[in-house]
Amino acid sequence: MKVYEKINLFLKKYIKGDRYLWAFISLLAIFSFLPVYSASTNLVTTYGGTNTVFRYLFKHAIFLLVGFFLLFFTQFIDYKYFYKMSVLFMPIIFILLIFTMSQRKELDGVNASRWLHLPILNISFQTSSIAGLVLFIYCARYLSQKKKERINLKNSFFSLWFPIFLIIGLIFPSDGSTAAIIFISVLILLFIGGIPLTSVIGFLFMGFLFSGIYIYYVIKWGDKKPMNRVYTWKSRIEKFLDHESEESYQMKQSKTAIVLGNKFGRGPGKSVLKAFLPQSSSDFIYAIIIEEYGSVGGVILLFIYILILIRIMIIATKVQNYSCSLLVLSVGFPIINQALINMGIAVGLFPVTGQTLPLISAGGTSIWVTFLSFGIILSVSRMIYSHSKIITHHES
């Protein structure tokens, strides 16, 4: 048997679900080595010591390898188990977020209580990323169960809205941007799931009200440290809205990198700004990509994410199962939202936040959560593939 035939047999046997989605995921993951390798120069310069670019690249490779294992095994799990696990994990996530907040970690004087460190295992992970995924699946489960009922505030407060505001409220003080993105993604999902637009707008207003009260309390009576996250948000938003004010150092370097990239870029690994742009391997990696591959490369990358969105929508509509469709949209849309926001920040369309570029940026928890989300989508798409085989078999 030829090598090609063996590979094809392996793919048919073990790689299930939407082949196009598999291809896009693999393409982005493989491409990520180039910008991460290039941008890791900044990490070596910042932290020094025994760290080298190859060490960061090896670390990124391990994260991707674990991510592909998650993707591979998740595709075989029935979608119903994800719904069941979301109910089980909601109280666990609540406890983890409480522990994360209680650490009161600071980084350069800023509240950095985003990571939960496990001393025995000596590992850290970002609880907000996991919390967002669990919350999305939980909301999709609720909507699928109540699809024949009229949902209002009274009959859904304790089972839907209270968990949403509780989880997001625990994330908000230390990671406001992530909390806002999760909240917006949840509202989009609820609208798709049949919640009236007036109710969605009402809950959006409630979100603004609660966050405004918190911000006002901190500024008026709370922590007076100038580097509190509230003051950081305030500074970033003011600089973004005031076109006459001086831009942040990060945005200056990001826009400079984009200008230097021009149409076709300076070439792989030839970025000048990678050594000066903070978070160039994670939050601002899109700026480095444009500098090295030009605006053409940036548009192609954006187009791939759009293609992934199209595949997500095709799977959601083709599966012909309301519960499955909601599950696919609940874990798929947030990935694309995060990608568009990350790219928008790099080019100056949004205020600076700490959002990574899915499947491209260096990281740990964010990579694994993204792979897990895609694994869930592939699990649902596997049903379409299996159903089409059964129909083909009967017809023959």
Distance, in Å, from the CA atom of 110 to the CA atom of 228, rounded to the nearest integer, reads 6
Which residue type is seen at 120?
A: I
Distance, in Å, from the CA atom of 138 to the CA atom of 145, rounded to the nearest integer, reads 11
How distant, in Å, are the alpha carbons of 304, 306, 329 from that of 311? 11, 9, 11
User: Do 209 and 298 share a domain, yes or no?
Assistant: no
User: Do 262 and 203 share a domain, yes or no?
Assistant: no
User: Do 333 and 191 share a domain, yes or no?
Assistant: no
Whether the Cβ atoms of residue 100 and residue 127 lie closer than 8 Å to each other: yes
- Both tokens assigned to 8: 């094809």
pLDDT of residue 52: 72
User: Do 88 and 220 share a domain, yes or no?
Assistant: yes
User: Residue 379 falls within a domain, yes or no?
Assistant: yes
User: Do 383 and 346 share a domain, yes or no?
Assistant: yes
Q: Return the exposure string of 262-281: e unless at least 16 CB atoms fall within 10 Å of the residue's CB, then b.
A: eeebbeeeebebbebbebbb
User: Do 106 and 187 share a domain, yes or no?
Assistant: yes
Which among 138, 196, 194, 126 is positioned nearest to 166, based on CA atoms? 138
Q: What is the extent of the structural domain holding 345?
A: 1-74+252-396
pLDDT of residue 224: 56
pLDDT by residue for the chain (396 residues), tens digit each?
566 666 667 667 677 778 899 999 999 999 999 999 888 876 666 665 556 778 888 889 999 999 999 999 999 999 899 999 999 999 999 998 888 877 766 544 445 567 776 666 566 778 888 999 999 999 999 999 888 788 777 778 888 989 999 999 988 888 888 898 999 999 999 999 888 888 889 889 999 898 888 888 877 776 555 445 776 777 777 676 665 555 677 788 888 888 888 888 888 888 888 878 877 888 889 999 999 999 999 999 999 999 999 999 999 999 888 899 999 999 999 999 999 999 998 888 888 777 889 999 987 888 999 999 999 999 999 887 665 443 333 333
Q: Return the exposure string of 86-120: e unless at least 16 CB atoms fall within 10 Å of the residue's CB, then b.
A: beebbeebbebbeebbeeeeeeeeebebbbbeeee
Q: Output the CA angle 249-117-108, nearest 5 degrees.
A: 30
List, in order, residues 6 or more apart from 266 with CB less than 8 Å away: 260, 272, 291, 292
Distance, in Å, from the CA atom of 162 to the CA atom of 358, rounded to the nearest integer, reads 29
Q: Which residue, of 246, 281, 300, is where some domain finishes? A: 246
pLDDT of residue 122: 60
- Both tokens assigned to 238: 């003011």
User: Do 88 and 224 share a domain, yes or no?
Assistant: yes
User: Residue 7 falls within a domain, yes or no?
Assistant: yes
List, in order, residues 6 or more apart from 6 with CB less than 8 Å away: none
Distance, in Å, from the CA atom of 35 to the CA atom of 292, rounded to the nearest integer, reads 8
User: Residue 359 falls within a domain, yes or no?
Assistant: yes
Which among 223, 214, 251 is positioned nearest to 346, based on CA atoms? 251
List, in order, residues 6 or more apart from 158 with CB less than 8 Å away: none
Residue reference for tokens 């918190």: 214
User: Residue 164 falls within a domain, yes or no?
Assistant: yes
The torsion defined by the Cα of 273, 177, 130 and 105, in degrees rounded to 10, comes to 80
User: Residue 161 falls within a domain, yes or no?
Assistant: yes
- Both tokens assigned to 324: 């499955």
pTM summary value: 0.89
pLDDT of residue 113: 61
User: Do 215 and 282 share a domain, yes or no?
Assistant: no
Please tell me the total count of domains within the chain.
2
User: Residue 79 falls within a domain, yes or no?
Assistant: no
User: Do 18 and 135 share a domain, yes or no?
Assistant: no
Q: Which residue, of 218, 246, 274, is where some domain finishes? A: 246
User: Do 198 and 93 share a domain, yes or no?
Assistant: yes
User: Residue 171 falls within a domain, yes or no?
Assistant: yes
- Both tokens assigned to 56: 């960061």
User: Residue 363 falls within a domain, yes or no?
Assistant: yes
User: Do 99 and 41 share a domain, yes or no?
Assistant: no
User: Do 242 and 271 share a domain, yes or no?
Assistant: no
pLDDT of residue 389: 47
Q: Which residue, of 212, 246, 280, is where some domain finishes? A: 246
- DSSP, res 87: H
